[in-house]
Structure 1
Amino acid sequence: MLFAAMGGSKILVVTDQDRGQTPALVYDPRTGALAFGPRMPAELRRGFDAVVVAGGGVLYTFSSPSYDNDETFEEVWGWRPLPRPPPPHDGYEVIAAHAVHPDGRTVFLTTCRGDCPGILRRMYAFDTEQRAWRWHAWALPFEGAGHFDAELDAWVGLHRDGHVCACRVPADDDSGSATQRRVEEKMFCRDHKRHVRASLTCMGAGRFCLLESVVREEVAADDGYDHMSDPEGFVLYVTMFGLKYDNKGEL
């Protein structure tokens, strides 16, 4: 299942993006109301990578161009196709990270080669008001979604090596770089053999929730056991934390 927050008060749910007959759902947690929306276009179902929320109550979804033809960025509810990113974007790139500018109108996407996730990272920005793309010479340092923290004036995300990192939002989106910091303590993925995946959620007021899925210790010790086929073969680690800069400007 795929989830996305819409306007801070509603939740979009795509229950199975691989099946064309499945509708999109919108749930309002304050009223308990559930609305049904149009199913996801076939182009997105073939390569759905992430969901981001832009301003104006519009939800944008995007997929890697290697899986589709022209529609690499879409919006709900009408599913209108948007223009493709500019060169040097090509069909070998996959989306590695994404974040929404605090102005609510610009979506930043960092891409990389699918076979080299840590190499040749590129940055693209889509202006939702002008419906135009721009290419930038810097890249987001984290993987997946970045969450804006007003106190830090930075996006916060998870690095693949297990650290939490922050990327200062450039004052001018033409800047050639963005200041980056990371927490020295490793927050997850301490045991690479047991680690499955991790995700970060912004809880508001500078608080974050880190969720890591790991293989149970006794299961991981059995090399011949297929833990992926056992729904009870995993445990979840939940870490709540806040972030701030020290007097040296470190995170």
Structure 2
Amino acid sequence: MATSCDTVVNVIVQPLRESLNSLGFEVYPLKIGWYNAVVSQAHQLQYSADTLALVVLSTPSMFEKVFLPFLRTGCCKGVRDPVDQCVAQTIKSCVSECLPDQSVDITFDYEMLPNRKPKFLAQTAAHVAGAARYYQPSDIQDPPWGNKKMFGVCIHPRLGGWFAIRALLVLKSVEVGEALQQVAPPNCVSSRDARIELLERFNLCWRDWTYRDIIPTEERYSPQQREYFITPPDQRGELLRQWGFLPEAETETQTSTNKQG
């Protein structure tokens, strides 16, 4: 049965948003139809167009508020990717606590289909939810790199590139109609030259992270967080051992996917 937008925001979304905000996450609502309208048929999600979904982002403070305490519990022993494990555990716990009567499908950014394609396009979801603008080569007229393959990147209006898209939550039994209106994400990289600079930094020298500072930001990763994500994934186990979070015997099994937070 359809639920009014006011009820969704006040009774459902807001408690979850407040819970996750306190832990360094942000939550943005969207309708499945907004997402399906801009992706290929192969990437469309099999829910009705008015079904409510939530995009969850992590902000820089998540590392100190959630991840370091998670490491102190010793839960990361033998875990392939401690950040993924921590984020999944945190989001599932908050959903269980704040949405006990809802049927929620949770998909994380790292999850893949059998054909090795992502279960959802995280940057597209963030864009249609108004969370962060997805800048793509198609946004630039006569790009200087011609036909060279260039990937797009999301920029957050307050955090620049210092954030990560972590999950998509689909509230399967909650439908919202016209009351939930789509809002375009802020166009914080508005000039052609700035967009060219952004995509060139992201594609050609992404390891130096300068693309993250394409606009002034309110918050950045701490030195310890930068050290963790800059460290190659197969060396992060050794780093955790140096930090005192992982016994030496566990370092060989402590690996990670090739992600930069």
TM-score normalized by structure 2? 0.28
More helix by share: 2
TM-score normalized by structure 1? 0.28
Q: Which has the higher contact order (CA 8 A, sep 6+)?
A: 2
